Structure 1
């Protein structure tokens, strides 16, 4: 594994897939915690509307909590979003942008 630090802007434009191989969207921007110097979310556009259904009919995109990210490489893998969108819990209200 390459431990070389990457610029966070290198995440923009990468495709995001669930760990089950379902296309989720493309990273358009990042949500940052400047004080903690950490990425807290991925702002996605170019969404797979079949995946999100009625959840994003009026939104331009969604913000996925960064804690859902499982791996970053040529693509970004996140936990299976389908179940989380269909049954969000109170802690994950960040989904709608």
Structure 2
């Protein structure tokens, strides 16, 4: 973005991807801090089922902190932290990850 203020409603409907190019979800709403006039979170729906299989039930979304956002354009890029949130499938994987 060029630094020009944009309406926050323009975020709704944009797709969210990790820095690694993995689809995360689609923005359905934003969380605001009215006192600071700032966006503090993004509510995502249409989630990537591979990332959120054990985290959400069908029809639910997730809220991600806006501090994870790296870039906003035609799509929104966030840190790859979302991919690292996946639970390891067995204890050996847990030791490798930790």
Please give the range of the TM-score, normalised by the shorter of the 2 chains: 0.7 to 0.9
* Pairing 1:82–2:80 present: no
Distance 1:30 1:85, change over 3 A: farther
For 1:31-77, what per-residue CA distance to the aligned partner results, in whole angstroms no more than 9, with x for missing partners? 11111111000000000011112011256100000000000000000
| Consecutive unaligned residues in structure 1, runs of 5 or more | 88-97
Provide the residue aligned with 2:19 in structure 1: 19
The whole-number CA distance in structure 1 between the counterparts of 2:58 and 2:3 is: 40
Greater than 4 Å deviation, 4+ residue runs: none
The whole-number CA distance in structure 2 between the counterparts of 1:85 and 1:35 is: 34
Provide the residue aligned with 2:42 in structure 1: 42
Provide the residue aligned with 1:72 in structure 2: 72
Q: How many residues align?
A: 87
Distance 1:75 1:37, change over 3 A: same
* Pairing 1:10–2:44 present: no
TM norm structure 1: 0.82
The whole-number CA distance in structure 1 between the counterparts of 2:24 and 2:7 is: 22
Larger Rg: 2
TM norm structure 2: 0.81
SS of equivalent to 1:56: coil
For 1:68-91, what per-residue CA distance to the aligned partner results, in whole angstroms no more than 9, with x for missing partners? 00000000000111113549xxxx
